[in-house]
Every structure is written in structure tokens, then in C-alpha cells.
Amino acid sequence: MPFFDFLIIGSGAAGLSTALGLSRLGQVGIVSKGRAEDSASDWAQGGIAAVMDMDHDSIALHIEDTLGAGAGLCHPEAVRQIIGRGPEAAHQLIDWGVPFDRQPDGNWHLTREGGHQARRVLHSADTTGHAIESTLLRRALAEPAVQIAEEHYASDLWLSAGRCAGAWVLAPGDDRPELWTARAVILASGGAGQLYLHTSNPLVATGDGIALAYRAGAEIANLEFIQFHPTTLYQPGSAPFLLSEALRGEGALLRLPDGSTFLEHYDLRAELAPRDIVARAIDAEMKQHHLAYVTLDISAQPGTLVQQHFPAIFAHCRAQGYDLTREPIPVVPAAHYTCGGVVVDAAGRSTIPGLYAAGEVSSTGLHGANRLASNSLLECVVGAAAIVADLEGQSHLPDRPRQLPVPSPRQVKTVVCATEITTLRQILQAGMWQAAGIIRNDQNLRAASARWNELATRIGDALCGPRSYQELRNLRQCAEILTRSALLREESRGCHFNSDHPQCRDVAADSISQRDQQGPVLRSIPGAA
């Protein structure tokens, strides 16, 4: 039975940042269900939003933009705290060796994305996530106090005397989990983009941490707010490829096949409007004109600028037969970011003692009803630092268990075979895209919610079983929470749009789901006007 001082589930930017901070406090174990670098962080293109140019930007302006994108659902104090620590977080990454781009004069090259009033996005060309992930991973692998277990999978959390004290972990090729214990457990497992048929997320984004926390009894907030990225490359039969919002920040325009623009009819900010507005506008135009896609056109900008700032995007499009510098390219929206998640306080503590969460798996109150572009990597680093500070400041953590009796996991056999698991996952993803996608309505949400309840009986609830089964189990759990929360929210706000309730309520409230409640409830936001 392995023991660590700190057990981290997930190896993206949030998990690795937390591990590097905690390594000076004790032994750190990281559970990574794939390769350590397999994470949404590694796929991030845009960058990290932080105020680095006080002559043309300010913390107050960044807060204003974040609150504006969040559509009244942000927690004001959390926004002030996280945005205020942005420059510190950016400098921490710089100190760790992340190679952010500079201008010829040595100043940081800052780009601008939708919803931002100023250039404040630090980046490394158009592969910022990879630059951050690879740098942090390299440092973690060199740290003696950090042990990374690749191809391992946490199937459930373990509580002892009401405190999270470990997790059941499946090793490669082993369908029976082993108990790994720790003084504190940190969820850093990312979001739930794989709930949807069309997503920009990697295959590992199956909502694992959210489902683990829910089954353990933690509160989950606002899971109905899924941000759909407006622009992924239209490639039927292929995995979507994200086209960074920074392209529009540098002058790219969305067009219909006849060459006409349309975003100005939906928002005065046009191409620089927040993602939910842009995604819904694209969806509306595609339906109105019976289109499979719209186009993104940056050909009016200098070709050297495009190739210099977006080398990976340019190369990928070129490999698919498109020249970004000369022609419009076909794009469609796709599920991109989970704005809700495990409820945590300012120190990253969940509602279960001993259980923390950071990054996309968490609900800090920063994103509200819609995430401001490039605030996610910021939240990862700030959240990690908050957890480290809290654990470092605790006068006493539980002692290492001695001769701990090992409880037996539920020995329920899975009732579905490998082929059926694949089929059920595809059915769930298609159903979620249809019922809980960009545009929703009550009838479709009710039908989907009933379907996910039925699916629970069909697939069972076992700690044992292969990764594919555990992912399906977690996706189904997240689908149930999401659809029930979406039904409760009889309004349209941010990236949740219900055509039966197109208006926004006067009073904003979080939707809170918890295992022992009959259903989700609405809770007023602390500090909101």
C-alpha cells in the first residue's frame, strides 16, 4: 500500500505546479492515467492572462473583463484574489523556465483575445500550453521528492473518519485497485470535454476528478456551464483541431461562404466578443443557412506575421491542404472548457476535509458563467500556489498511518464488455451534443437526464474494471449532474443558453450538486451585488 505525504491526481499544469510547490514539504505522488504530458494544458494554444504592462493595462481592467465575461456569476472576491496574483503566477512560470515570447526590445510580447480590453496574454508562439507543460514536467521529473505513476488510474477516493486520506488506484493491466494513502489529496484532473461528440479536448478529459469528488460527497457547482470554443478546424472524420482565439485578436474575421461577415450583427465587439456569443452566432448562422461550417479568414494580415505568431496552426492547416495566409479556412464550434467543477475556497479546499482541487476540475468562482480567454492557465498556477501555502501553513497534518487495515473495494463486476463500453460512450457523447450543446431546451434536457439515470443501472458502479469502463462511469456521472443542473437553471446566462428560458434572471446563483441531496439547488453568490 503506497503512502505519500501528498497525492495528486492529474499531471497537467495545475498538478505539476502543485507538485513542485509541495516537493519541499514531503513526498509527492502523481497519478497520471496516460502519459504524464497527456493533458488539456499541453494542448492550450493561446497563453496565460496576466497584467504585465502597467502602462497600458491594470489589475482593475483585467478584473472588469473577467466579471464581464462571467455574466454575473463570478465570485467577486475570488476574481480579485486570482487576478491580483496573476503577475506573481506569471513570474513563477518564468522563474521555472517557461520560454514566453519577447519583442525585439526585450519586453514581453503580449497578445489580445476575445473579451480582453488590453493586450495581456503571455504566450510562447501558439503552443503555450506545451511550453508550460514540458517545462514543468521536466522539473518534476528531476525532483527526487516527486514520483509520477503513468498509466495509473484513480477509480475512487478513500475517506477515513470523514477525511479524504487516499484513493483506489488501478495499475496498468490490473482490474483490481490498490489503496494509495496520503495526508492530503489534490484533484488536478482537468475538465469533462469528452462528454461531447465535438470537442477540442484530449481523450483524457472525461470528468474523472469531478465524478470522484461527487461520489465521495463533495459539492459540485455550475457544471452546466460548458464553454464551446467557436473555432475548430472542420475535418469530418478527424479529431478537431483548435484554432486559437488569438487569431481573431490579430485580425482574423469569421465569414459566411459568400465572404460576408456576420458577427457585427450579434455584438458590437464582433470578432472580439466573448466565446459564448461567438459560438452561438456561428451556430445560428449555420442553422439559418444550412451550413456545415463557416470560415475564418486572416489572409488580409501579413503572411510573415501569421507564420511567426501561429507556426503550429499554420503548419497543421498546411498539412490539411489550407494556406492560412492566402485563403479562408472552414471552422465549427466544439466543447472546450468546463467552467464549473469541485467547489473550493480561496485555499483550494473542497467541502471534504483533506481534499483539494486546482485547475479546470475546480470551481473557484473565477469563471462564472463563461471563462474569459486565457484565464484558465492563470487559475491553474494561482490555485496550485494557494494549496501549497495552505498545506505549508497547517500546524498539523494527519500522521502517516501505521498498520492501516486495508478495506476491500466493492467487488462488483462490470456488466458491460469492451465493445459495449465504446458504443455507450458514443451514444452518451451524441446525446449530450444534441441535448446539452450550444442551444438547449427543457424537453431535450429532461429526456437526456432520464437516459443517463437508466444508463447508471446498465453500466453498474464498480471500482474494479479497465480504464475505459471507469471513464464511461465518470462521464455518465458528469452527464447526469450537468443535465439536472441545466434543468434547474431556468434562464440563459453565459455559455448556458436555453431557448425555453431566453432571459437572464435578475439574481445570479450557483447550482450546487451533492451526492446526498435529492437534486441540485441554487445558492446565492457571496459578495455579489
SS3 content of the chain, % helix, strand, coil (to 5): 35, 20, 45
For the annotated catalytic residues, the residue numbers are: 275
403: left (phi over 0), alpha (psi -120 to 50) or beta: left
> Of the candidates 9, 17, 304, 284, which has an alpha carbon nearest to the alpha carbon of residue 143?
17
Identify the H or E element spanning 94: helix 86-96
- Dist. CA 459–CA 471, nearest whole Å: 11
Asked if 15 contacts 7 with a C-beta cutoff of 8 angstroms, the reply is no
Strand order in the sheet with 110-111: 48-49, 121-122, 110-111
Tell me the residue ranges of DSSP E strands in 319-365.
329-338, 341-343, 355-357, 362-363
Identify the H or E element spanning 31: strand 28-32
Asked if 168 contacts 31 with a C-beta cutoff of 8 angstroms, the reply is no
Q: Name residues whose C-beta falls within 8 Å of residue 176's C-beta, 6 or more positions apart in sequence.
A: 170, 409, 464
Residue bearing cell 494580415: 301
Rg (CA), the chain: 22
- Dist. CA 529–CA 524, nearest whole Å: 10
Asked if 12 contacts 383 with a C-beta cutoff of 8 angstroms, the reply is no
β-pairing verdict for 253-255 and 226-233:
unpaired
Asked if 228 contacts 356 with a C-beta cutoff of 8 angstroms, the reply is no
Cell of 445: 434536457
What is the sign of the dihedral through the CA atoms of 356, 362, 368 and 371? positive
Cell of 53: 504592462
- SS3 per residue for 441-475: CHHHHHHHHHHHHHHHHHHCCCCCCCHHHHHHHHH
User: How many Cα atoms are found within 13 Å in the side-chain-facing hemisphere of 253?
Assistant: 13
- Dist. CA 488–CA 517, nearest whole Å: 14
Q: Name residues whose C-beta falls within 8 Å of residue 307's C-beta, 6 or more positions apart in sequence.
A: 314, 325
